[in-house]
Chain A
């Protein structure tokens, strides 16, 4: 090892797989943004918090919406306010600086200590959005023509970007990122995660609940498969409701916590009722049934 880098090791309230930890450290060492993809509920957003906690840095979150423009992350020049002010002569309109408001990226650049910058759900924005940020993320600086100022990063922030794969991201952007796909945790990994959230959980209850959970996830045709966060909520409900472990599999209590769609509940019920004909399940709800 030529040089000792900042080393992320995971934090007490977030279970990180070796692979993911590797990727985080690679991204930090290479000073490149880390792009995280994965099923909903696999802890993409939590990762940034965990990195910030473990490295004792501040976390700046930039939530992306469908209307977000790349420019907003850098700065916003409030021209309308300035125009209004000029009409009524309230303040010194010659001072453009007071109308320049830094966005989240700008904030991260100007922070005194290195920060973790989370660009959350980048795929929500327009297709061109990531391309518009290429230069800024590469060079860690941007220019404000209005004030003829260049904002340069005092400390290079650790950039974490999450995506739900709603849109394909542009290649040029991808080339500059380190990529990691968070796979859905296997039962072992899931147990660890649950123990962080419910440390005192009864072993038997956990086993039963996990079995049922993975059974539900494996039903084909389910549109929204239950995820980690739903399992955690469900366990909470089971504990609060005082459900005995033996009843979980038969009665499937609080099912609404796991399956959020009516269609999915229907699919589950039909499948449970006709277990013997499970093979027909694929075409059961199909409009093409007539031609069987």
Chain B
């Protein structure tokens, strides 16, 4: 009957499965929604939505689909006054429930208009007029399955209103979130290998059996070292002027990477707008505290996972021309784009994270350089979703997009 809602949810990006839908129908059959839209809202949410990150999507889809049922606006003030009365809870008998067939929404709206025209005084506890309590379909705190709630202090808060509040907006995953979420995403970057040092804490069953047999049945236990993450990470961060607006976001990623103690090795370097001959050890790019980029390329093995964080936005000459470096007093023999290509060639597992939201890439000032660089590195936006797909890309060799 409301199968369409299922597709509305799917269309809004909620991974609702048939199983869950089935469960919902069962629950409805068992009367778990308490025959109110609010009850239905909470039931749907707890059965269909499995992460707070999707609460907001659900709220929007719900509010959208059921928006017709919202309290009509523009009621005379007097009616609001009548409705502004508190009442004790009402007991609902089966008989009452039977008496109220679910009314059609259009029917309800028509009736409400009629009543509005006729009614000229307060009513509380009746079954026809707009007022509090009672069983009239209009008003609040009363009981009428499928009635229109008008005002009232949420004895049965309108579900559409609850949904409309979008209290869970901050949990969306396509929004940028805190350090913790970055850490969770980074945790997926791992590859187990046996460590050479460390305590032998795991029983090696096969060797134990062999040894015990060798001893003619006298038990001898063999222990081995547990497996450890063998992933090594090289983080290159743009500390240039245009990155200031994203500093908070980059700080969060930086802290998260730094705190991720599951990497076998983590090296961090900084650069200013574009990478040339030198990589710096501090975000101020001090000219006396650097490592040569060649040294990094020659020393670090190709299995380092390289994450470059930067807005990739610069003047085209900074990227394309010899001597394009932004620092006064320095000169580069190779254009920046060459350096990027060399890095990409050496480190096949590499991605570029861009704090600029993806849909601006084509329209920003730096669109040209963003485009050029994303031809070299797979580029993702710096959000949780972006980081996750970046990490997926780091797990396997990605073909270099184009080379020209």
Q: Which residue from chain A places its CB closest to the CB of B284 in the assembled complex? A: A290
User: Would you call B27 and A80 a contact (CB within 8 A)?
Assistant: no
Chain A's interface size range is 35 or more
Once bound together, how far apart are the Cα atoms of A83 and B211, in whole Å?
14
**Partner among A22, A83, A174, A292 whose Cβ is within 8 Å of the Cβ of B50:** A174
B110 interfacial contact with A, CB 8 Å? no
Give chain A's interface secondary structure class: mixed
B239 touches A84 (CB 8 A): no
Contact partners of B357 in chain A: CB under 8 A: none
- In the complex with contacts A84-B219, A167-B184, A282-B248, A179-B32 CB distance below 8 A: no
Nearest chain A residue, comparing its CB with the CB of B239: A288
Known: A32-B23, A175-B50, A181-B55. A2 touches B248 (CB 8 A): no
For B248, give its contact among A23, A37, A286 (CB under 8 Å).
Answer: A286
Closest A residue to B283 by beta carbon equals A287
Residues of A within 8 A of B171 (CB): 181
* Cross-chain contact A180 with B46 (CB below 8 angstroms): yes
Whether B52 is near chain A, meaning CB under 8 Å from some CB there, is yes
Total inter-chain residue pairs, C-beta < 8 Å: 111
Beta-carbon contact of A283 and B244 below 8 Å: yes
The residue in B52, B55, B203, B240 that gathers the most chain A C-beta atoms within 10 A of its C-beta is: B52
A30 to B47, CA, bound (A): 10
Is the beta-carbon distance between A2 and B240 smaller than 8 angstroms?
A: no
A19 at the interface (CB under 8 A from B): yes
Nearest A-chain residue to B55, judged by Cβ: A181
A282: B residues at CB distance < 8 A: 247-248
The stretch that binds A, out of B13-21, B144-152, B394-402, is B13-21
Contact with A along B239-255 (1 / 0, CB 8 A): 11101100110110000
Flag if A80 contacts B221 (CB, 8 Å): yes
Q: Is A223 an interface residue (CB 8 A)?
A: yes
Chain B, residues 216-234, CB within 8 Å of chain A (1/0): the string is 0111010000000000000
In the complex, the answer to whether A26 meets B46 with C-beta atoms within 8 Å is yes
Q: Which residues does chain A contribute within 8 Å of B32, judged by CB atoms? A: 25-26, 29-30
**Which residues of A sit under 8 angstroms from B248, Cβ to Cβ?**
221, 282-283, 286
Nearest B residue to A35 via CB reads B50
| Cα–Cα distance between A84 and B219 once the two chains are bound (Å) | 7
B96 to chain A, nearest CB (A): 14
Question: Does A90 sit at the interface, judged by CB under 8 A?
Answer: no
Q: A22-B43, A29-B32, A80-B221 are in contact. Are A288 and B184 (CB under 8 A)?
A: no
Instruction: Verify A26–B50 contact, CB threshold 8 A.
Output: no
Q: Which residue of B lies closest to A291 (CB)?
A: B241
Do residues A181 and B219 form an inter-chain contact, with CB atoms below 8 A? no
Q: Name the one of B15, B52, B179 contacting A181, with C-beta atoms under 8 angstroms.
A: B52
Q: Give the complex CA separation of A102 and B240 in angstroms.
A: 59
Q: Is B82 an interface residue (CB 8 A)?
A: no
Contact between chains at A87 and B51 (CB < 8 Å): no
Nearest opposing residue in chain B for A182, CB measure:
B52
Alpha-carbon distance between A84 and B117 when the two chains are bound, in angstroms: 90
Q: Is the CB of A175 within 8 A of B20?
A: yes
Are A83 and B219 interface neighbours, CB within 8 A? yes
Interface centre among B17, B27, B42, by most A CB within 10 Å? B42
> Given A22-B46, A286-B251, A29–B23 Cβ distance below 8 Å?
no
Residues A170-222 near B (CB distance < 8 A): 171, 174-181, 183, 221
Interface centre among B15, B50, B247 (most CB of A within 10 A): B50
The answer to whether A165 and B219 touch across the interface, beta carbons within 8 angstroms, is no
Chain B residue contacts of A175, Cβ below 8 A: 17, 19-20, 50
Given the known A-B contacts A23-B46, A175-B17, are A2 and B247 also in contact in the complex, defined by CB atoms under 8 Å?
no
Type the 1/0 row for A73-102, where 1 means its CB is closer than 8 Å to any CB of B: 000000010011001000000000000000
- How many Å from the CB of B176 to the closest CB on chain A? 13
A5 to B7, CA, bound (A): 31
CB distance from B62 to the nearest CB of A (A): 14
Most chain B beta-carbon contacts within 10 A, residue among A26, A174, A176, A223: A26
We find that the number of chain B residues with CB closer than 8 angstroms to chain A is: 46
Considering only residues 45-88 of chain B, those with a C-beta below 8 Å from chain A are: 46-47, 49-52, 55
- Contact status A291-B51, CB under 8 Å: no
- Measured in the bound complex, the distance between the Cα atoms of B184 and A284 in whole Å is 26
Chain A contacts for B187, CB-based, 8 A = 166-167
Cβ of A149 within 8 Å of any chain B Cβ, yes or no, is: no
Q: Which residue of A lies closest to B39 (CB)?
A: A22
- Give the interface centre of A19, A166, A171, A175 by most chain B CB atoms within 10 Å: A175
Could you tell me if A179 and B15 are in contact, using CB atoms closer than 8 angstroms?
no
Residue of A nearest to B178 (CB): A223
B122 smallest CB distance to A (angstroms): 29
CA of A165 to CA of B53, assembled, Å: 11
Residue in B closest to A25 when the chains form the complex, CB atoms: B32
> CA A262 – CA B13 in complex, angstroms?
40
Give chain A residues whose Cβ lies under 8 Å from the Cβ of B55. Answer: 181
Within the complex, what minimum Cβ distance (angstroms) separates B206 from chain A?
14
CB of A148 within 8 Å of the partner chain: no
Task: Determine whether A1 belongs to the interface, using a CB cutoff of 8 Å to chain B.
Answer: yes
Q: How far is the CB of A236 from chain B (nearest CB, A)?
A: 28
A279 within 8 A of B: no
Within residues 77 to 134 of chain A, which ones have a CB less than 8 A from any CB in chain B? 80, 83-84, 87
User: What B residues does A23 contact at CB under 8 A?
Assistant: 42, 46
Q: Are B244 and A291 in contact (CB under 8 A)?
A: yes
Is B27 within 8 A of A29, CB to CB?
yes
B167 CB within 8 Å of chain A: yes
Q: Which residue of A lies closest to B388 (CB)?
A: A168
List A1-45 residues whose CB lies under 8 Å from chain B. Answer: 1-3, 19, 22-23, 25-27, 29-30, 32, 35, 37
Q: List 17 A-B contacts (CB under 8 A).
A: A2-B30, A19-B42, A26-B27, A26-B32, A30-B47, A37-B51, A83-B212, A83-B219, A175-B19, A177-B50, A181-B51, A285-B251, A287-B239, A287-B251, A288-B243, A288-B283, A291-B239
12 new A-B contacts at CB < 8 Å, known A30-B32, A286-B244, A286-B251: A22-B42, A23-B46, A26-B27, A32-B23, A35-B50, A84-B219, A166-B187, A175-B17, A175-B19, A175-B50, A179-B50, A289-B247
Residue numbers in A under 8 Å from B251 (CB-CB): 285-288
* Minimal beta-carbon separation of B242 from chain A (angstroms): 8
CB contact between A288 and one of B50, B51, B247 (< 8 Å): that residue: B247
